[in-house]
Amino acid sequence: MIKENDLKLNTEKMIEAGLIFGHKKSKTHPKMKKYISGVKNDIHIFDIEKTSEKLKEALNFIYELVSNNKTILFVGTKIQIKDILKDFANEVNCPYINERWCGGTFTNFEIVRKRIEYFKNLELKKEKGELEKYTKKEQMKLDKKIKELEKKFGGIKNLEKLPDAIFILDIKKDYTALLEAKKKGIPVIAIVDTNVNPDLVNYPIPANDDAISSIKYILDVVKEVILKAKNQ
- Residue at 228: amino acid letter: K
Domain range summary for the chain, segments of one domain joined by +: 4-106+162-230, 109-155
- The reply to whether 4-106+162-230 and 109-155 are identical in fold is no
CB-based contact 55:218 (threshold 8 Å): yes
User: Quick count: other Cβ atoms within 10 Å of Cβ 149?
Assistant: 18
pTM value is 0.93
Task: Please list the helix, strand and coil fractions of the chain in percent, rounded to the nearest 5, in that order.
Answer: 55, 15, 30
Q: What is the CATH number of domain 4-106+162-230?
A: 3.40.50.10490
- CATH 1.20.5.440: does it fit domain 109-155? no
CB-based contact 156:95 (threshold 8 Å): yes
pLDDT tens-place values along the chain, 232 residues long: 666 556 668 899 999 999 999 989 888 999 999 999 999 989 999 999 999 999 999 999 999 999 999 999 999 999 999 999 999 999 999 999 999 999 999 999 999 999 999 999 988 888 778 777 878 888 788 889 889 999 999 999 999 999 999 999 999 999 999 999 999 999 999 999 999 999 999 999 999 999 999 999 999 999 999 999 998 7
